[in-house]
Amino acid sequence: MTIEPAEFRRFERLRWTIYAILILAYMTAFFHRMAPGVVSADLMAAFQTSGAALGSLAAMYYYIYTAMQIPAGVLADTLGSRLAVSLGCLVAGAGSILFGLAETFEVASAGRLLVGLGVSVIFVGLMRSNTQWFSERNYGSISGLTLLLGNLGAILATGPLALVLHATSWRNVFVGMGLLSVLIAILSAILVRSRPQDAGLPSVQEMDGLEPHPPRDRHWLLDLRGVLTTRAVWPSFFVMFGVTGSLLAFAGLWGVPLMRDAFGLDRTQASLYTTLALAGFALGCLAMGALSDRLGRRKPVIVAASALSLLLWLALILLPWGPGWSGLTLYALLGLVAGGFVVGYASAKEVVPPGVAGMAIALVNTGLFLGAAIMQPAFGWAMDLTWDGVLIDGVRRYALADYRNGLWLSAGFALLALIAALFAPETRCRNLTLARRAHAH
């Protein structure tokens, strides 16, 4: 079919408008994920709570987020990104406002749960939208850009949030974030379209001179069963579990205490190391996604990321590194190579029919959060095995040897990811189910 220049311009304008709205929603999800760390002292003072209770309050987000990934994929594939993200932002906005206004710990927990529930559908909805508005040959690059921009939301929840708290209260911040989420929900409902055809435009395949993807034609339960029983999806699940789960557990909880306990750095100095790891992770997502698209290959990037991740965990255990350039370099490289996980999303959606891409993306994303949820306490458990009983101001002080126990566990997670990566299919950046169908005809 012939695409008129005016139609092409309208397609481009609408594509990037939709992407911008969904990215803004995704950045709020990252913000909510990281913000409790900065306002932890304020929360403990407001609700007179213990550290363990505060941990459970923050973790409400993770519990519901992990549990909701498969349902989020079903929602994205059946209702479409527009409705899924609009409803998600509305629920997250209500939860954030409730959290900001909460007078009791129980109400704050309910607000945090609603935030987690709402934002749980945003990432899968965004990635599903990308499958509809961007061609397969560019999917690795757009996935990398998506993760890079999402991580900016996490960065805003660190130093910039700390600066804002000098001018206003944590309560005002969360009420403001809630109102922003409601605004994004309204913009999404008005401007977002789940697929080009909903706006009277040709599909992205037709824009490229190809046949449009066939629509879903079965009940979603049958589709979900089909995704779960597709062996080629699972290597990406375990790469997410091992590589990304171990990195996020380390950067989000244990990376700072290691530099404090083992090398005597204060919290501000130590946090520079995990900031570099997360910055490397964000840049790695962008670089590895683009590299995969340029090579026209998925598997070599996934295998290399897993292998290099394993080598860097071993370097943290075995090499004589310390504060300064050696430590900063290892932390940054650990994040950078883990960015290769982003190619797993492209690989997963290229081994299932296009109509169920959301479910495949959601399944592998579950591996990421499951890995982090298991690794955070497991790392601490490994350190407790050899802890010598030293307490400073009532807080356990671990030696470098104790941290090495946890690092060996992280290396084990990375080894699992490498083994899984070796079984990843090579899609050559195209959908294998459509290629098989075309070959059959």
The predicted model gives 24-52 an average pLDDT of 80
pLDDT tens-place string over residues 353-368: 988 888 999 999 999 9
Q: Set out the domains of the chain in order of their start, with CATH numbers.
A: 13-207 (1.20.1250.20), 226-436 (1.20.1250.20)
Which residues lie below 8 Å from residue 115, measured CB to CB, with a gap of 6+? 32, 61, 92, 95, 96, 99
**Average pLDDT over all residues of the chain:** 89
pLDDT of residue 171: 94
Is the backbone of residue 192 left (phi > 0), alpha (psi -120 to 50) or beta? beta
Q: Could you tell me the pLDDT band of residue 437, with boundaries at 50, 70 and 90?
A: low
Task: Please give the DSSP secondary-structure letter assigned to residue 397.
Answer: -
Q: Could you tell me the pLDDT band of residue 22, with boundaries at 50, 70 and 90?
A: very high
Greatest mean pLDDT range, 136-150, 176-190, 276-290, 396-410: 176-190
φ and ψ at residue 157, rounded to 5 degrees: -85, 5
pTM of the model: 0.84
pLDDT of residue 163: 83
Q: Is 114 helix (H, G, I), strand (E, B) or coil?
A: helix
The predicted model gives 89-104 an average pLDDT of 95
pLDDT at 325 over 90: yes
Q: Could you tell me the pLDDT band of residue 351, with boundaries at 50, 70 and 90?
A: very high
H-helix or E-strand containing 381?
helix 357-384
pLDDT at 158 over 90: no
pLDDT of residue 439: 61
pLDDT at 441 over 60: no
pLDDT of residue 98: 96
Contact status, residue 222 vs residue 359, Cβ threshold 8 Å: no
pLDDT of residue 51: 62
pLDDT of residue 52: 60
